[in-house]
Every structure is written in structure tokens, then in C-alpha cells.
Amino acid sequence: MEFGLFFLMQRDEAWSEQAVYDSGLEQMLAAESLGYSSVWIAEHHFNDYGLCPAPPVLAAFVAARTTTLRLGMGVSLLPLHHPVDLAEELAVLDVVSGGRLDVGIGRGGTLQDYQTFQSDRADSRERVEEGIALMRRAWSGAPFDFQGRFHSAERLHVRPSPAQQPHPPLFIAANSEESVVSAARLGLPTLSSFFVPIAELQRRHTLYRETALAVGRSESAVATLERQAWGMRVVHIAPHHDEALRATEAPFMGYQRRMSVLRSDATGGSVPSSFDRSLLRLRAFSDYLADGWALIGTPSEVRDNLSRYVDATGYERVLLLMALPGLASNLALRSMRLFAEEVAPAMATPSPAR
């Protein structure tokens, strides 16, 4: 099992923007010594749902202060960028980090995002697929021509080449059925958020495998892609069950309130057409826990619940969202330590069911 940390850089009303960065960086810089494999930083614009519009800049800061920790874009919103510009930026980050970059690609964002960056959300999937093709050519290290629907290039030679060859690992944010199909066709592993129900994840795993096989990929190639995929869960651990609940109820519900606003029709937030919108309506904290959105409790409770999640989904890589908005840094750091010391070691060997 491999565990990384996911950072939305989300602001609680009582926190300053500087406090969000101070707390997030303290956790990111502690991750390496605790044994986490990676930190992933989300890209968001123009609201408190996420305060990092430029993840490569933040990741470069973390790279300079770590040696083995991988830096994940979780995710880069490709339709809001020119693919060549993004490829250049990420190539520099891969070089200066010594080849520690992972690149998640997504197409989320509000209507304001797309209007501001003069992109059309109606063709965002086509922009992602064409953009990935163009980024791969840009990372090839050789001059190339490119003619697409949205972008073209002649005798373009992008420098520097990334440290990882042929390029940094690519992943597709797959929180809808359509994105799962796209990832399978492109031959890229997926990143799935914590709010996708387990039964739906199981169905999508089947869809991914069937689609990948149908386009000609071998059983072994598909199995490799499946092993590279990342699941996600909100996690918080404390020495006592009630203490864990008290610490996280307000921060977790604050996250849900922001999500319900960001994904509402009023803001034009992107919600896949196949997604059950009822999942985004505010519910009681206990309902989210019962549905497994958040694994909160003692080390043994979290270990048992995480084992059930992994057994049901088959994930060998799981991102942990521990940095909830408004959660005190010392409590988040304690949770990180307890997970690393008492949960991760027990998850190292898959159960017979897995």
C-alpha cells in the first residue's frame, strides 16, 4: 500500500489566508519523515474552496525542502491553460525536484473560471484529450508540428525536457463515468475523490477495464494501470473516538458547505451529468460517516474501516485528506503521525480478499 496526502488549501472563516498556507506547509514538510509517499495540491481559482491557483509554485517550495517526497498536481485544470505553457512549467518543476513530479489532469472549475480564462466548458473534455497529446509532444525533447482543433504548432522545440522520461506520470481525475472512459481510452490511471460511493467505484473499475481491453490494451497493461490508480478518503485519527469526532465535525461540515455552494447551479460549478446531485446536498455529519466519506476515530477504527474500503475497491494507493478547513495544525499532525505509526504498517500486506 502507498499513501499520499491531498491538500485543498481550503480556508475556514476564522483563518487568514496566511494561516492556511502556514498550516498546509507544516503538514507537507512533515510528510516525508513520517513515510508518506507524496503530497498532492489542488488547483482552484477565485474562492475559499481552495486558495492555491498555482500548485507548481507551492510544490517547488516543498521540493526545495524535501528529498524523496513526490509532488502531485491534484489536479491541473488543463482547459484553463495553454498546454504548451503548462508543459513548460511542469518540466521545470520536474527538473528542479529531481524527477519527483506526478501530474493529475482534470477539467473541473466554475463557470467564472472558464469565462475568465476564455475557455469553453462545453468542450472541456476534448480540450483535455487534445491538451494531453500536445503536452506529451512538448515533453518529447524533439522539434514537432501539431495540428489540433484548439491548438497548433510548427517546428516547436520545448525546453527543458522533464527529468522523468518519457514524461512525468500522468493521471486523470475521474469523478464521472465519462472521465473513466476517457482515461481508459488514453491509457492513463485515474484519481477518484472521496465522495464517489464504493458501489459506484466498483462499477467504474469494471467499466475502465472493459473499455481499456476493448481499445486493444493487454490484460497485463490494464492491471498495471489499475495498480497505479489512486483512491481517496477523508481521515482523522485521535487517541479516543469522541475526541476525533469533536475535532473534525465542524471542519468537515465546513468543507461540505463550501462544496455545496461551489457545485451549485448558482455558481455554475461543474457537476458531471451522471453524478447523483443528492450526494452534494448538506446532510448530517453522522450520515457522511455512515456512508464512509470520512474515516474518523481511533487508529484501530480507521485501520478497520480503511481495510474494508481497500478490500471493496482494490486500490493499492490511497490519498488521505487530513487538512480540513479550520482543523488545528497540531491535531492534523498528530493524526498524520498516528496513521503512519499505527495504521500504515498494518496495511502493508494485502488481505486474502484483496
The 10s digit of each residue's pLDDT in 182-192 is 999 999 999 99
Cell of 215: 481499445
* Contact assessment for residue 27 and residue 9, using Cβ atoms and an 8 Å cutoff: no
- Cβ count near 155 (within 10 Å): 7
Q: Is the pLDDT of residue 228 over 60?
A: yes
Read off the pLDDT of each residue in 134-141 and give the average, rounded to a whole number.
98
pLDDT tops 70 at residue 277: no
Q: Name the amino acid, one letter, at 207.
A: L
pLDDT at 265 over 90: no
Report pLDDT digits (tens) over 48-107: 899 999 999 999 999 999 999 999 999 999 999 999 999 999 999 999 999 999 999 999
For the cut 60, the answer to whether the pLDDT of residue 230 exceeds it is yes
Length of the chain: 354
pLDDT at 271: 46
pLDDT of 272 above 80: no
Q: What is the mean pLDDT of the chain?
A: 93
Where do the structural domains in the chain lie, given as residue ranges? 2-347
Model confidence pLDDT, tens digit, residues 291-350: 989 999 999 999 999 999 999 999 999 999 999 999 999 999 999 999 999 999 999 755
- Considering the segment(s) 2-347 as one domain, its CATH architecture is Alpha-Beta Barrel (3.20)
3-state SS string over 52-104? CCCHHHHHHHHHHCCCCCEEEEEEEEHHHCCHHHHHHHHHHHHHHCCCCEEEE
204: pLDDT strictly greater than 50: yes
Q: What is the pLDDT of residue 260?
A: 83
14 Cβ contact partners less than 8 Å away, ≥ 6 residues apart = 326
- The stretch 209-214 carries a mean pLDDT of 98
pLDDT, mean of residues 232-238 = 97
**Per-residue confidence (pLDDT) for residue 39, from 0 to 100:** 98
